[in-house]
Amino acid sequence: MKFVPGKEIHGPDVLSRRPLKETIPNQDILREEICVAALTEANLMTQPFSEAIWKQVTRAQAEDPTSNQLAATIIKGWPQHPDDLDNQLKPFFSVRGELNIQHSLVCKGNRIYTPKSLQKCFLSRLPEGHLGLEKCRSRAAVSVWWPHLSTQLTQAVEGCEECIRQRKNPKEPLMPTTLPDYPWQMVGADFLHAQGKEYLLIIDYFSTFPFLIPMKKKTAGAVIQELEPLFSIFGAPEIFRSDNGPPFNSFEFEAFCRTWEVTLIISSPRYPRSNGKAEAGVKKMKDILNKCSSMSDTYRGLLAYRDAQLQDGCTPAQLFLGRKTRTLLPVLPAELRPQWPDLPAVKQAHQERIQRAKEHHDRVTRARLLKPLSPEPATEPRSYWVSALGRRYRRNREALIWAPTPTIQRPDFYHYSSSGAAASSAQGASAEGAQRSASPGPPQLTPEVLRPSPPPLTGNTTGSRARGNRVERSRPSGESRLRTSGRRIKRPTSLRDYEL
Ligand SMILES: [Zn+2]
């Protein structure tokens, strides 16, 4: 008798079981064993294999030295220690209890062992349908097996280009803008279109006091022409926030801000939420414009809005001018005298309200921080510089999808030969398969490839300056490949690392 540790016993240990008092006739035991064997065989025969693939697997195993050696070891019995095995059989030692031979095929349980010549082919087929890792694993669990299949499958699914394109990042926790210390310290700007006209909205972050300016043009010069009088009346703000669109991303506007010693903060492209005050102001202004029949009505509506209490209990006019404005409603003269509210108390109440809103948002959207990325971070928080197609782009972290290095090529790069020869790109492929194999295939991605999502980038990058966007454009050159249509296309060298 020899002691065998429990971890090395893969089946039930009969000596550790409490025997039943009644005995089972030998005939019943034999019948049970026959049933188990029949069920196993029947299960294997109902695997989702076509006849052609079945023959192909059989031939591949017959031609594979590892399979033959494995079958011989299963029949002969496994040694006590993996060191007694040839190197090619060592990966099988840990699952030796599950390895068996059915229909002359080496199997692990009910899964057919796939030799190396067919592994790439099946690995490219398992993720078909883009059903996700769990479903791919469940497909493999009733089909094929080879050492490290699970790891390879994980890499294949995570590196699937189509899934990466469709993948969306979860919401990140809100980063509320801290309320400035005094009025006109930080202002936001945005354009809006209502009633067939264009307007420029300038809004004070501290008081929410809006300036709605009809615009005939949306050029940097036209905006500067409207801002200069405001700056001369109320002073130059410390910070000017806008979205990434023209004309705010132009050299001319940046030079204007530099002249007035104003810090220009432009939100990440495709991420206008970082200029949230202006975004919210645009909605309110559109609401007023759409409900007022004339500009006179609109201006009276704006007067009412500036004189209406905010959630903090003060009106925009009180917080911006230090007094209430006279409207068409009668008020006592004392109401119109200048009197600043308790600004620190207002700021405190505002911060508490914003914090509650943030917590609610983060809870409802199940927001979570995305893992930092390794490309060049921009100066703005959660913002990165990424390169693609010879250009550099600034993108918010939420718009960037991490793409791992693909370990397998696309399924259509592997071709099955119906003749039963070991197909795929490696050997025995048909003419078309060989032609495909000769093509360079999809670009290899580096481990830290980042693809702007959704690709590709258009629109505001063509502005007069495209702040931080267009830097240079490389000419397509280098490798070419044959499309399925027969057209040969050349890819820019930059696509070695990126794909849009
Ligand atoms: Zn996919």
Cα(446) to ligand 1 centroid in Å equals 19
Per residue in 141-195, pLDDT (tens digit) is: 988 999 999 999 998 888 888 888 888 888 888 887 788 888 999 999 999 999 8
Element containing residue 152 per DSSP (H, E): helix 149-158
- Which of 410, 469, 477 lies closest to 445, judged by CA? 410
Q: Quick one: pLDDT band at residue 321, thresholds 50, 70, 90? A: very high
Q: What is the dihedral of CA 474, 476, 480, 484, to 10 degrees?
A: 110
Q: Is the pLDDT of residue 457 over 50?
A: no
Beta-ladder partners of 239: 186, 263
Distance 377 CA to ligand 1 centre (A): 29
User: pLDDT per residue over 184-232, tens digit each?
Assistant: 999 999 999 998 899 999 999 999 999 999 999 999 999 999 999 999 9
DSSP string, 72-95: HHHHH---SSGGGS-GGGGGGGGG
Q: E strands within 82-178?
A: 99-102, 105-108, 111-113, 144-145
CA 155 to ligand 1 centroid distance, Å? 11
| Å from CA of 137 to ligand 1 middle | 13
Single out the residue of 152, 147, 143 nearest to residue 123, CA to CA. Answer: 152
Distance 372 CA to ligand 1 centre (A): 24
User: Could you read off the pLDDT of 361-390 as tens digits, one per residue?
Assistant: 889 888 888 888 776 777 777 778 888 778
0.95 exceeded by pTM = no
| Ligand 1 midpoint to CA 127 (Å) | 6
pLDDT, position 178: 81
Q: Are strands 239-242 and 263-266 parallel, antiparallel or unpaired?
A: parallel
Q: Is 111 helix (H, G, I), strand (E, B) or coil?
A: strand
Residue 451, pLDDT score: 42
Question: How many whole angstroms from 341 Cα to the centroid of ligand 1?
Answer: 58
Q: 213: closest CA among 298, 120, 143?
A: 298
Integer Cα distance of 435 and 422 in angstroms: 16
Query: What's the number of CA atoms in the CB half-sphere (13 Å) around residue 14?
Result: 1
Q: Could you tell me the distance, in angstroms and rounded to a whole number, from the CA of residue 163 to the centre of ligand 1?
A: 4
Mean pLDDT of 225-241: 94
How many angstroms is it from 144 CA to the middle of ligand 1? Answer: 19
Quote the tokens at residue 52.
């052609």
Task: Decide if 446 contacts 497 (C-beta within 8 A).
Answer: yes
pLDDT above 60 for 246: yes
How far, in Å, is the centroid of ligand 1 from the Cα of 160?
Answer: 5
Over the Cα atoms of the chain, what is R_g? Answer: 35
pLDDT attached to residue 270: 64
CA of 270 to the centre of ligand 1 (A): 25
Find the 405 Cα to ligand 1 centroid distance in Å.
Answer: 14
- Residue 409 alpha carbon to ligand 1 centre in Å: 12
Cα separation of 498 and 23, whole Å?
70
pLDDT of the residue at 266: 85
- Average pLDDT of the chain is 76
In this prediction, residues 308-320 reach a mean pLDDT of 88
Rounded distance from Cα 156 to ligand 1 centre (Å): 8
Please, what is the angle between helix 51-63 and helix 65-76, to 10°? 80
Q: Which residues contact 45 (CB under 8 A, 6 or more apart)?
A: 103
Residue 445 DSSP symbol: P
Ligand 1 centroid to Cα of residue 143, in Å, is: 19
Say how many Å lie between the CA of residue 79 and the centre of ligand 1. 41
129 CA distance to ligand 1 centroid (A)? 7
Task: Find the DSSP H helices in 334-484.
Answer: 343-364, 431-438
How confident is the model at residue 440, as a pLDDT?
37
Tell how far the Cα of 235 is from the centroid of ligand 1, in angstroms: 55
330 in the Ramachandran plot: left (φ > 0), alpha (ψ -120 to 50) or beta? beta
167 CA distance to ligand 1 middle (Å)? 10
pLDDT bracket for residue 477 (50, 70, 90): very low
Q: What pLDDT shows up at residue 186? A: 94
Compute, in angstroms, the gap from residue 245 CA to the centroid of ligand 1.
Answer: 34
For residue 135, report the distance from its CA to the centre of ligand 1, in Å: 12
DSSP state of 198: E
pLDDT of residue 20: 67
pLDDT score at 26: 62
Provide, rounded to the nearest whole percent, the portion of the chain with pLDDT above 70.
71
Residue 243 pLDDT greater than 90, yes or no: no
Q: 484 pLDDT exceeds 80? A: no
Ligand 1 centroid from CA 159, angstroms? 8
User: Cβ neighbours of residue 7 under 8 Å, at least 6 residues apart?
Assistant: none
**403 alpha carbon – ligand 1 mean position (Å):** 12
Q: How far apart are CA 124 and CA 162, in angstroms?
A: 13
Choose among 448, 310, 451, 335: nearest CA to 387.
451
Q: What is the mean pLDDT of residues 345-358?
A: 87
Residue of higher predicted confidence among 484 and 283: 283
340 C-alpha to center of ligand 1: Å? 60
Q: For residue 125, report the distance from its CA to the centre of ligand 1, in Å.
A: 11
Residue 222 confidence (pLDDT): 94
For the residues 331-346, what does the mean pLDDT come to? 86
Return d(Cα 260, Cα 386) in angstroms, integer: 31
- Our CA dihedral for 62, 102, 419, 413, rounded to 10 degrees, sits at -90
